[in-house]
Amino acid sequence: MMSAPITGRTKILGLIADPVVQARTPGMANALLEQRHQFGAFALLPMHVSSDGLVAFVAALRQVQNFSGAVVSRPHKSIMAELVDELTEEGKLVGAVNVIRRRADGWLVGTILDGEGFVGGLKDSGHRVAGTSCLLVGAGGAASAIAFSLAKHGCSSICVANRTRSKAESLAERVRQAFPGVDVTTEISSTSHFDISINGTSLGMNPADELPFSSSVVERSSLVAECVIAPEMTRLLETAKNHGCAIHTGVPMLAAQMEMMLSFMGTG
């Protein structure tokens, strides 16, 4: 039983994504609101918005006076950073947004919590980041946030790999500038061993997706970690498990940042 009914006073929260049917955020957020006796005062709804419709949708959100904020997921994180009126320092550094809040005057503020959520999820699961060598595949919004947070929390090295090499090199250079003490490369050596190998792409959401990195890299990894949340056990994680590697699903990343997201969206 929910804490309170939805009424005309309910403040609307959202999850903006495409697709949205697989998302766990609405269930997790509303369950947390219920635990905090805030459901009814707030309710989070899935909002399936295509890339073509995003600009018009964001403009409309400014006019919804009981809209309080939204979680932003694939593929909108980078574009949303250009559509909001204000970015936090984290949002500026990463160039992407995964949560927004609406001020009373319609002004939209955006930040990104993926990196802190990912590192927090690792730590909550008993894994350390300080002193580790990391492989990060991907250079989009979530991957960029993770790169900066890994560096912030003291990893010794990061290898950034991406299909579009220029994006990997751009992210690597930005991390070097922000954290000059971290060794950042863009080449996966055939002999490299990684303490943590991370899929920061959307590969794995569909069963037919190729692996984000090869089985030979999996074999040279102590821990293989996902950002994909659904399905929880991706083909990459199954491959890593079969090779005897420790695995880390994408779910702790979302769970670790849920409190932060709700707070940013105005729930207190």
Tokens of 267: 């729930």
Distance of CA 124 to the CA centre of its chain: 16
Q: What is the DSSP letter of 4?
A: S
Ramachandran class of 127: left when φ > 0, alpha when ψ lies in -120 to 50, beta otherwise: beta
Using omega within 30 degrees of 0 as the cis cutoff, is the peptide bond preceding 231 cis?
yes
DSSP result, 136-177: EE--SHHHHHHHHHHHHTT-SEEEEE-SSHHHHHHHHHHHHH
The structure's pTM equals: 0.90
Q: Rounded to whole angstroms, how far apart are CA atoms 94 and 85? A: 16
Residue 198 pLDDT: 98
Residue 172 pLDDT: 98
Residue 268 pLDDT: 87
Q: Which residues pair with 39 in a beta bridge?
A: 42
In the set 11, 77, 92, 123, the catalytic residue is 77
Mean pLDDT by 10 residues, the chain (268 residues): 82 97 94 96 98 98 97 95 97 96 97 97 97 97 96 98 97 97 96 96 95 97 96 97 97 94 96
Q: Rounded to whole angstroms, how far apart are CA atoms 11 and 40? A: 8
Q: Which residues contact 147 (CB under 8 A, 6 or more apart)?
A: 115, 136, 158, 160, 171, 175
Q: Rounded to whole angstroms, how far apart are CA atoms 178 and 145? A: 12
Residue 235 pLDDT: 97
Residue 4 pLDDT: 82
**Cα angle 129, 118, 84; round to 5:** 130
Q: Rounded to whole angstroms, how far apart are CA atoms 111 and 99? A: 6
Q: Rounded to whole angstroms, how far apart are CA atoms 138 and 32? A: 30
Domains of the chain (ranges plus CATH)?
Answer: 11-112 (3.40.50.10860), 115-253 (3.40.50.720)
Q: Rounded to whole angstroms, how far apart are CA atoms 35 and 267? A: 13
**Cα angle 258, 91, 228; round to 5:** 45
Residue 70 CB neighbours (<10 A): 31
Closest C-alpha to 158, from 118, 73, 144: 144
Q: Is 167 a catalytic residue?
A: no
